Structure formats: structure tokens, C-alpha cells
Amino acid sequence: MASAKYIFVTGGVTSSLGKGIIASSLGNLLQARGYKVTIQKFDPYINVDPGTLNPYEHGECYVTDDGAETDLDLGHYERFLNTPTSQANNVTTGRIYYDVITKERRGDYLGKTVQVIPHITDEIKRNFFRLGETGDYDFVITEIGGCVGDIESLPFIEAVRQARWDVGENNCLVIHLTLIPYLKAAKELKTKPTQHSVKQLLEAGIQPDILVCRSEKPLPNDIRKKLALFCNVQLNSVIEALDADTIYDVPLLMRKEKLDERVLSKLRLPSKGEPQIDDWREFLGRLKNPTNEVDIALVGKYVELPDAYKSIAEAFIHAGAHLACKVNVHWISSETINNKSVHRILKDMDGVLVAPGFGERGIEGKIEAIRYVRENSIPFFGICLGMQCAVVEFARNVLGFTDAASTELNPETEHPVIGLMEDQKSIEDYGGTMRLGAYDCKVSKPSKVYSAYGSAKISERHRHRYEFNSQYLKEFEDAGMKAVGTNPESNLVEIIEIPEHPYFVGTQFHPELKSTVMKPHPLFVSFIAAIVKNNKN
Ligand code: GLN
């Protein structure tokens, strides 16, 4: 076993307490002390990965450089730590069983009966330790999805129990994130649900080392003492996690509660002085004291669930803070937009982003929104399907191909300006078969995109099947829509731009996936900067 320390984060009482944010905040503080950290998530559902899930289920699907389709918490890990994750950082029950069953079919178990313990738990542990064994990390933080007590997370919890023995006491700890509800009528914070959830962990053989307690109100000392006594943890290991203004406040709240110090002392590691969090504080300062304000419409089809566009929303926060500009994102369902309503809906917007997506619903609304912003010189940014819709709109209304479409939506069109690549045509499976992960892109100058990146060679992440149909490229370019980013190997069009427009950019890739607090994405920064400039004119 390599020298990495393993921290497991479990959840109790209810889901949605923000295990991902707590894990990310702790990772951030340890990193700020000079330690190398990675965070991984183990999800109890049976899908092999979240790529086939509807965004209404668990929010957006986050894509890593190596093309893994993963849980959106990996986005938080990257945004907080500013280091990339990979397939190894997200494992589901489905993947564990898939791998065990594949081994069984291959005869690897030599005739043994294959069982949850030890075969499934061994496979889980192999994955727990995989990143630690690379020698690249001092800490591997593992977030266990779901709540303790759920039937489906039992094998993960059992594997955590075993893992403690495998790596030894000083190399492993368990943080339990729980809720301390406040009962208004009684004017009291209640510890009982936490006591019960810790009991459930104890039944599974796990004594949590640290309790992180989500609460709307500060935890008075008597409540902390009660939690320590009944849950069998040290008083200073009861950590308060108050509701915060933004998720980016949480590292500072955890610092105040000394979560990082407790972790280091329990794992017998030196504190290496104070964590270097000045840059983070500066970011928060700019975020909270903006000097400008803009209104941006996010036109999409899953707008009732903001988690479906998590990375886009966060990218606006990073880029907005960078420019000390408050970005008010207005979530607009593309289904409400048509030729009659478009002016009313978009007239007060300073800029419009058309979101990624799949399928037919809401497409015509997206195209109508794009016509409106193109004709009215309102800054526009289209991502993936948003870029494809911009191409279709231009083909219909500028090139005059009235039936132009993407073949995803109209396979019979005479003008398939967006179509399938040859190597996608024969694919029948839905899981993991899109164009996924990081690809290089060559950016041509002069262009707004080049000025934004300040570089001709970039790499961005993809998740789509359909592409710009290069047979039409000349006609588009002659009419004023330029391909300013192309794949250096396949020549596929990755970025389009209308140079004559104040800001009209569409990307086939997903820039939002690479935006972090410390490295806001250049295209989000340039989009907001263009809006600010446009508003001044
Ligand atoms: N549905 C489109 C495609 O598959 C766009 C996908 C997306 O927006 N991520 O190409």
C-alpha cells in the first residue's frame, strides 16, 4: 500500500447535504497547506456511469479529459482543487458489478462462488485504493453517495469498514456529514436524527472520527457536547457547517471550524503552517463586491432544474468574479420562445447563452432566440447544441436554406448542415459512445476567440454525436459566419464566430467543464467582458 492517507465522507439523515462541497472544501484546505489531494465519488446506483441518465435524475453529466461521463460532484472537485479528475474518480455499483461479472465469465474466480463479501467488497476496495497507489497523492478523499442505511450503499459501507483495517488506523478516517434540524416551534436544534444515523454506522462496524453538522443556526456548546457524548467523538471533532451564502464560502467556514487541523492531527501529519488561502479570499472579495452587473438569459430545456446546467452556472460565477461583475442568470425554457414571444422574453437581456442538450423538444425556441440576438446585435454564446442551433439558424435565415436542420432532429432534410460523422453512423449502444473527452483545437486569428485564449492551440472537452457538416463551410464563411476553431487532425469545425457581430461565438465543445475558481474560462470571461462593453456603447 502506498503512503496516501484515505478519508471517507459518508452522509446521514438526508441526501443533498452537500458531501461534495464538504469533500471539496477539505481537499482545498489540505492542498492550500501544500498536500497533494484527489477526490473520488462512489455512487450506489446500478447504471455503469451517469452518461445514460436524464439530467432530471442527478443533474448534469460531467465529462473528464479522458472522456469519462461522471457525476456532477466531480465538477466541484475540479473547480475547488483546480486539478483534473478522470474515470478513476467516479465509480458506480454498476461498474463494480460489471467488472466482477466480467471476471467471473473469464473464469478469474477459479470456480469459487462469487459473493458480495468478499468479491464485490474487494472490487470496491481495489477502486478505493487505485489513485492512492499511483503515488501521486498524499490524500485520497472518497465521497460515498447516498445515505447510510440505504440498502444499495451497504457494500460500500462494508468496504469502508474493511479498508480501515487494510490501511491501518493512522492512515484512514471517516467523516460523517449529517443534519441538525432546527424546530421552529420548539426553538431548538435537534441531535436525535444524527444520533440515529451514527448508530447505523456503528451497526455496520464504523465509528466516525469527525462529525460535520449541517445546520441553519450556530451549534451552541451544549449541543456540541451532546453530539460528542452520544456519537462517541471528541468535542473538537464536532464541526459546524452553517448554511453559506455561496458554496465558495465553505472552505473558509471549514477553516474557521478547524476541520483541516482535526484531519491532520488524527492522521498524525504536520500542519505545514497556515493554509495559503489568500487567492481564494480575493476571489470571494471580488465575487461579493461587484462593480458591474449584467443580465444573461440561459436558454435551455431543463431550466426547472438548475443542476442540469451546473457547470455553466459555476463558470459564470468564476468569470463574473474575475471581472468583478455580478452575473444575473435568467433561466428561460426554450419551449416558451417563439416568433411572437421572443422580443418580450429577451428584450431586457444583455446577453444570451443557448445551452447544450439532446432531442427535439425546445429546439425551435432556441433557433428563434438565436435569430433575435443575431439580428439585434446582442452578445451570444452557444454551447454544443447551442452552437449547432446557431449554424442551423444561419443556414435558414442568412443562406436561405429554409429546411436546414441537424439530422438529429430531421434526418430527411435537404440541407443537413449538422450531421453524424461516418464513424458514429453504425453505433447502436447509447452508453459511452459519443465523441467524449479532451480534443485539441487549432484557433485561427484574428478572432475574438483567439484574443480570449491568447493561444492558437487549445484543448477542450466534448460530449456529442453530431458535427458541423464541412461541405457547407465555404457558403457559411462567404456569408459571414467563420470557422475559427478546427480539430487539427480531422478538420472538424469546433468553433464558429460572426466577426461582424459584437459577440457571436458557438463552440462544439463544453468550455464550462474546464472553468475553475482559480482559472476562470477565457470564453466565459470574454463573453461577459463583451456584454459589459456592449452595454456601455
Ligand atoms: N445533441 C447534440 C449532439 O449529440 C448536442 C449534444 C450536446 O449539446 N452536448 O451532437
Rounded alpha-carbon distances, angstroms, from residue 17 to 89, 212, 262, 324, 507: 20, 10, 21, 29, 34
Confirm whether 384 is a catalytic residue: yes
Q: Do residues 323 and 503 touch, judged by C-beta distance below 8 A? A: no
Instruction: Pick the range with the lowest mean pLDDT from 88-92, 392-396, 424-428, 524-528.
Output: 424-428
CA 40, CA 53: separation in Å to the nearest integer?
A: 20
High-pLDDT (> 90) share of the chain, %: 91
- What confidence score (pLDDT) does residue 429 get? 65
Ligand 1 center to residue 509 CA distance, Å? 9
Confirm whether 203 is a catalytic residue: no
For residue 6, is pLDDT > 70? Answer: yes
Ligand 1 center to residue 483 CA distance, Å? 18
Confirm whether 343 is a catalytic residue: no
CA 462, CA 512: separation in Å to the nearest integer?
A: 11
166-177 mean pLDDT: 95
Q: Whose CA is nearest to atom 5 of ligand 1?
A: 385
Looking at 176, 318, 464, 510, which residue is catalytic? 510
- The tens digit of pLDDT for each residue in 462-521 reads 999 999 999 999 999 999 999 999 999 999 999 999 999 999 999 999 999 999 999 999
- The tens digit of pLDDT for each residue in 118-165 reads 999 999 999 999 999 999 999 999 999 999 999 999 999 999 999 999
428 band by pLDDT with thresholds 50, 70 and 90: low
- What confidence score (pLDDT) does residue 433 get? 77
- What confidence score (pLDDT) does residue 424 get? 65
Q: Do residues 319 and 521 touch, judged by C-beta distance below 8 A? A: yes
Using alpha carbons, select from 490, 489, 527 the residue that is nearest to residue 507: 527
Collapsed DSSP state (helix, strand, coil) of residue 511: helix
CA 175, CA 8: separation in Å to the nearest integer?
A: 6
DSSP string, 125-188: HHHHHHTGGGT--SEEEEEEPS-TT-GGGHHHHHHHHHHHHHH-GGGEEEEEEEE--EETTTTE
Q: Whose CA is nearest to atom 3 of ligand 1?
A: 464
Ligand 1 center to residue 493 CA distance, Å? 14
Handedness of CA 457, 460, 463, 464 (dihedral sign): negative
3-state SS track over 427-491: CCCCCCCCEEEEEEEEECCCCHHHHHHCCCEEEEEEEECEEECHHHHHHHHHHCCEEEEECCCCC
Q: Whose CA is nearest to atom 6 of ligand 1?
A: 464
Grid cell listed for 301: 430545456
**C-alpha dihedral, 38 to 44 to 48 to 53, nearest 10°:** -100
3 band by pLDDT with thresholds 50, 70 and 90: confident
Q: Which atom of ligand 1 is nearest to the CA of 383?
A: 8
- The tens digit of pLDDT for each residue in 190-199 reads 999 999 999 9
- What confidence score (pLDDT) does residue 286 get? 97
- The tens digit of pLDDT for each residue in 296-322 reads 999 999 888 889 999 999 999 999 999
Q: Whose CA is nearest to atom 8 of ligand 1?
A: 356
For residue 1, is pLDDT > 50? Answer: no
For residue 46, is pLDDT > 70? Answer: yes
Q: Mean pLDDT score of the chain, rounded to an integer?
A: 95
- The tens digit of pLDDT for each residue in 75-89 reads 999 999 999 999 999
426 band by pLDDT with thresholds 50, 70 and 90: low
- The tens digit of pLDDT for each residue in 53-82 reads 888 887 899 999 999 999 999 999 999 999
CA 471, CA 452: separation in Å to the nearest integer?
A: 28
For residue 173, is pLDDT > 50? Answer: yes
- What confidence score (pLDDT) does residue 59 get? 87
For residue 422, is pLDDT > 50? Answer: yes
Q: Which residues contact 389 (CB under 8 A, 6 or more apart)?
A: 354, 363, 366, 367, 370, 382
Ligand 1 center to residue 362 CA distance, Å? 14
More confident residue, 207 or 427: 207
From 54, 62, 385, give the residue whose CB has the most ligand 1 atoms within 8 Å, as the site to mutate.
385
For residue 2, is pLDDT > 80? Answer: no
Cβ < 6 A, ligand 1 pocket? 356-358, 384-385, 408, 463-466
Looking at 147, 384, 389, 441, which residue is catalytic? 384
- The tens digit of pLDDT for each residue in 213-228 reads 999 999 999 999 999 9
Collapsed DSSP state (helix, strand, coil) of residue 241: strand
Q: What is the pTM of this model?
A: 0.94
- What confidence score (pLDDT) does residue 425 get? 66
For residue 431, is pLDDT > 80? Answer: no
Looking at 158, 393, 467, 512, which residue is catalytic? 512
